[in-house]
Chain A
Amino acid sequence: MALDEIKIGGLGASRRRVEDNRFIRGKGNYVDDIVLPGMLHMEILRSPVAHARIKSIDVSKAYEIPGVRLVLTGEMMAARNLAWMPTLSYDTQAVLATDKVRFQGQEVAAVIADDPYIAKDACEAIVVEYEQLPAIVNPMQAMAADSVVIRDDKENQPGNKVFDWEIGDKAATDKAFAEADVISKMELHYPRSHPSPMETCGSIADFDRATGKLTVYMTSQAPHIVRAAVAMVAELPEHMIRIVSPDLGGGFGNKVPIYPGYVVSILASILTERPVKWIEDKTGNLISTGFGRDVYLQGELALRKDGKMLGMRMKTISDHGAFYADAQPSKFKIGLMHSTFACYDIPAAHLESVGYYTNKAPGGVAYRCSFRVTEAMFFQERMVHAAANDLGMDQAEFRRMNLVKDDMFPYRTAFGFLTDSGQYGKCLDIGLKAIGYSTYKAEQAEARKRGKLLGIGISTMTEPLGAGNSREYDILGIKMFDSAELRVHMTGKAILRTGAMNQGQGHQTTWAQIVAHELGIPADDVTVEEGDTDTAPFGMGTYASRSTPVAGAAVAMVSRKIRAKARKIAAHLLEVSEEDIEWELGRFYVRSNKERGVTIQDCALAAYSNMPDGMEPGLENNAYYDPPNLTWPFAAYFVKVEVDAETGVWDVLKVVAVDDCGVRINPMVVEGQIMGGLTEAYAMASMQYQTYDSEGNCIGANYMDYLLPTAWETPGFELHEVVTPCPHHPIGAKGVGECATVAGPAAFVNAVVDAVGHTGVRNIDMPMMPNRVYEALTTGKDISGMPPVKMGD
Chain B
Amino acid sequence: MTSLYDEVQAAPAPGVVTRRVTIKVNGDDRTVDVEPRLLLAHLLRQGLKMTGTHSGCDSSNCGACVILFDGRPIKSCTMLAVQADGHSLETVEGLASASELHPIQEGFKEEHGLHCGFCTPGMMLAAKALLDKNNDPTEDEIRWALSGNLCRCTGYQNIVKSVLWAAKKMRAESN
Give residues 191-216 of A contacting B (CB, 8 Å): 196-199
* A283-B58, A712-B147, A714-B155 known; A24 vs B124 contact (CB < 8 Å): yes
Which residues on B sit within 8 Å (CB–CB) of A703? 57, 59, 61-62, 150
Give CA–CA (A712, B38) in the complex, Å: 32
User: Contact flags (1/0) for A668-679 with B, using CB distance below 8 Å?
Assistant: 110111011111
> Which of B8-16, B17-25, B78-86, B167-175 is the contact stretch?
B8-16
Give CA–CA (A234, B11) in the complex, Å: 35
* A37-B7, A282-B58 known; A504 vs B117 contact (CB < 8 Å): yes
Which residues on B sit within 8 Å (CB–CB) of A439? none
Q: Which of A114, A668, A671, A711 has the most CB of B within 10 A?
A: A711
Which residues on A sit within 8 Å (CB–CB) of B45? 32-33
> Which of A13-21, A256-264, A428-436, A575-583 is the contact stretch?
A13-21
Chain A's nearest CB lies how many Å from the CB of B164? Answer: 13
Chain B's nearest CB lies how many Å from the CB of A716? Answer: 6
Chain B's nearest CB lies how many Å from the CB of A262? Answer: 19
Give CA–CA (A282, B61) in the complex, Å: 11
Chain A's nearest CB lies how many Å from the CB of B149? Answer: 7
Contact of B156 with A by CB under 8 A: yes
Which residues on B sit within 8 Å (CB–CB) of A678? 155
> Which of A242-250, A303-311, A338-346 is the contact stretch?
A242-250
Instruction: Give the nearest-CB partner of A195 in chain B.
Output: B152
Tell which of A24, A115, A247 touches B6, judged by Cβ atoms closer than 8 Å: A115
Instruction: Give the nearest-CB partner of B38 in chain A.
Output: A117
Contact of A618 with B by CB under 8 A: no
Which residues on A sit within 8 Å (CB–CB) of B49? 35
Tell which of A199, A668, A679 touches B112, judged by Cβ atoms closer than 8 Å: A668
Which residues on B sit within 8 Å (CB–CB) of A671? 112
User: Contact flags (1/0) for B104-145 with A, using CB distance below 8 Å?
Assistant: 010011101011111111001000000000000000001110
Size of the chain A interface, CB-CB below 8 angstroms: 67
Give residues 56-113 of B contacting A (CB, 8 Å): 56-59, 61-62, 64, 91-93, 95-96, 101, 105, 108-110, 112
Q: Which of B37, B38, B105, B160 has the most CB of A within 10 A?
A: B105
Tell which of A38, A672, A680 touches B115, judged by Cβ atoms closer than 8 Å: A672
Give CA–CA (A35, B92) in the complex, Å: 20
Which residues on B sit within 8 Å (CB–CB) of A130? none
Contact of B157 with A by CB under 8 A: yes
Contact of A41 with B by CB under 8 A: yes
Give residues 21-54 of B contacting A (CB, 8 Å): 35, 37-38, 45, 49-54
Can you list 22 pairs linking A and B with CB atoms under 8 Å apart?
A19-B117, A23-B117, A24-B108, A24-B114, A24-B120, A25-B96, A28-B51, A28-B117, A38-B6, A38-B8, A39-B7, A117-B37, A197-B116, A198-B151, A198-B152, A199-B54, A249-B116, A673-B115, A702-B58, A704-B61, A710-B150, A711-B143
Q: A38-B8, A250-B115 are in contact. List 9 more A-B contacts (CB 8 A).
A: A16-B110, A16-B112, A26-B50, A26-B93, A199-B118, A249-B56, A279-B55, A282-B59, A672-B158
- Seen from chain B, the residues whose Cβ lies within 8 Å of a Cβ on chain A are 3-8, 10, 13-14, 35, 37-38, 45, 49-59, 61-62, 64, 91-93, 95-96, 101, 105, 108-110, 112, 114-121, 124, 142-144, 146-160
- Seen from chain A, the residues whose Cβ lies within 8 Å of a Cβ on chain B are 16-17, 19-28, 30, 32-33, 35-41, 66-67, 114-117, 196-199, 247-252, 279, 281-283, 503-506, 668-669, 671-673, 675-680, 702-704, 708, 710-712, 714, 716-717
